[in-house]
């Protein structure tokens, strides 16, 4: 079954478009979890237990797992999320020449969807795009302040680069498996990209810790009701300093975000 059909079913069953970002910064994991073999996994397991009823997906960012223990923690986390019925979107921002991307794309045997970087062009993404059942979210207009440095550059046609990316991504969608990453910190761009790619679901990061616009994220992020609004630190570290109660605070933060976003859904 296509990723976006599965995501649609998940969104309907939990009535949520919340993507819970699993970015377990080792410096912020509660002290009492340090005794575990894999503290990041111990942390994520408790976060998943507390938040899964509010999560449309989990979005681990690969940067928090790129060491031997990290990969083990990620593997356990993905299996546990799947056990709770929640799809996993790996935020890895991958792409490379074809034979290298073919290796990167093997991760789609483990996770359900991935973020990719369009900078090297279509052939660098082909092994991901060919995975018919996986979701492929193409970076379009990112939420960081420096996103404008390249993404806003005006092409000869007069359009900014991020608009060309959106239009190209639309043509890469032969398998109905392409989405776009557009930050909530850029509400005008969100609206413009939605006009250019009316049928592509968005992953919208940048609310919470980055201060983006949650209403615009919902208004423009969804295509036929399917799309994701992510919060990572705002959920998983909501209980920072609360000791063993940290996960309950994360659950409450996820529930609050779910209700807030649902106010804006049609
Ligand atoms: O444009 C982008 C693309 C990806 N991200 C990632 O999303 C989360 C956001 O974390 P918060 O704690 O909610 O700020 C993180 O993994 C980023 O690498 C993004 O922020 N912006």
Secondary structure string (H, E, C) spanning 61-116: EHHHCCCHHHHHHHHHHHHHHHHCCCCEEEEEEECCCHHHHHHHHHHHHCCCEEEE
Collapsed DSSP state (helix, strand, coil) of residue 141:
strand
DSSP code, position 205: -
Ligand 1 near 101 CB (within 6 A): no
Determine the distance separating the centroid of ligand 1 and the alpha carbon of 170, expressed in angstroms.
23
Ligand 1 near 117 CB (within 6 A): no
Q: Which of 38, 3, 4 is nearest to 222 (CA)?
A: 4
Ligand 1 near 160 CB (within 6 A): no
Ligand 1 near 229 CB (within 6 A): no
**Residue range 232-266, pLDDT digits in tens:** 999 999 999 999 999 999 999 999 999 999 999 97
Nearest protein CA to atom 18 of ligand 1, as residue: 61
Q: Which residue out of 151, 206, 237, 250 has the highest number of ligand 1 atoms within 8 Å of its CB and is therefore the one to mutate?
A: 206
Average pLDDT, the chain: 97
Determine the distance separating the centroid of ligand 1 and the alpha carbon of 213, expressed in angstroms.
14
Predicted local distance difference test score (pLDDT) of residue 42: 98
Q: Which of 27, 84, 93, 106 is catalytic?
A: 93
User: Strand order of the sheet with strand 135-141?
Assistant: 57-60, 18-22, 228-231, 202-204, 178-182, 135-141, 113-116, 89-94
Task: Please check whether residue 139 is in contact with residue 189, taking contact to mean a CB–CB distance below 8 angstroms.
Answer: no
Q: Which of 229, 234, 227, 249 is nearest to 19 (CA)?
A: 229
Predicted local distance difference test score (pLDDT) of residue 28: 98
Query: Domains in the chain, please, with CATH?
Result: 3-262 (3.20.20.70)
Exposure string (b/e) for 1-18, b if CB count within 10 Å is 16 or more?
Answer: eebbebbbebbeebebbb
Q: Going along the chain, which residue ranges are E strands?
A: 18-22, 57-60, 89-94, 113-116, 135-141, 178-182, 202-204, 228-231
Stated pTM of the model: 0.98
Nearest protein CA to atom 6 of ligand 1, as residue: 205
Determine the distance separating the centroid of ligand 1 and the alpha carbon of 230, expressed in angstroms.
8
Q: Which residue out of 66, 141, 205, 257 has the highest number of ligand 1 atoms within 8 Å of its CB and is therefore the one to mutate?
A: 205
Q: Which of 97, 88, 118 is nearest to 197 (CA)?
A: 118
Predicted local distance difference test score (pLDDT) of residue 69: 98
Determine the distance separating the centroid of ligand 1 and the alpha carbon of 258, expressed in angstroms.
18
DSSP code, position 155: P
Tell me whether 0.85 is exceeded by the ipTM: yes
Q: How many residues does the structure list for the chain? A: 266
Cα angle value 14/184/181 (rounded, 5°): 75
Q: Mind listing the pLDDT tens digit of every residue in the chain (266 residues)? A: 999 999 999 999 999 999 999 999 999 999 999 999 999 999 999 999 999 999 999 999 999 999 999 999 999 999 999 999 999 999 999 999 999 999 999 999 999 999 999 999 999 999 999 999 999 999 999 999 999 999 999 999 999 999 999 999 999 999 999 999 999 999 999 999 999 999 999 999 999 889 999 999 999 999 999 999 999 999 999 999 999 999 999 999 999 999 999 999 97
Does residue 93 carry a catalytic annotation? yes
Nearest protein CA to atom 11 of ligand 1, as residue: 232
DSSP track, 188-204: HHHHHHHHH-TT--EEE
């Amino acid at each position: 079954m296509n990723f976006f059909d599965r995501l649609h079913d998940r969104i309907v069953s939990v009535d949520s478009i919340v993507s819970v970002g699993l970015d377990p910064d080792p410096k912020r994991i509660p002290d009492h979890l340090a005794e575990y073999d894999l503290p990041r996994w111990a942390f994520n397991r408790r976060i998943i237990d507390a938040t899964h009823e509010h999560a449309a997906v989990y979005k681990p960012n690969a940067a928090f797992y790129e060491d031997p223990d990290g990969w083990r923690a990620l593997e356990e986390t993905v299996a546990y999320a799947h056990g709770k019925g929640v799809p996993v979107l790996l935020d890895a921002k991958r792409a490379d020449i074809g034979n290298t991307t073919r290796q990167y794309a093997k991760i789609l045997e483990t996770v359900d969807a991935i973020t990719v970087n369009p900078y090297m062009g279509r052939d660098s993404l082909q092994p991901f795009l060919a995975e018919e059942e996986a979701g492929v979210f193409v970076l379009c207009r990112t939420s960081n302040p420096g996103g404008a440095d390249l993404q806003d550059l005006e092409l000869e046609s007069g359009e900014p680069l991020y608009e060309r990316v959106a239009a190209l991504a639309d043509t890469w969608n032969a398998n109905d498996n392409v989405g776009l990453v557009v930050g909530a910190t850029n509400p005008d761009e969100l609206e413009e990209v939605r006009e250019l790619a009316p049928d592509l679901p968005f992953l919208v990061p940048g609310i919470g810790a980055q201060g983006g616009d949650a209403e615009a994220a919902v208004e423009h992020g969804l295509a036929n009701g399917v799309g994701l609004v992510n919060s990572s630190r705002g959920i998983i570290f909501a209980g920072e300093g609360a000791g063993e109660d940290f996960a309950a605070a994360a659950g409450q933060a996820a529930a609050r975000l779910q209700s807030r976003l649902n106010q804006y859904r049609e």
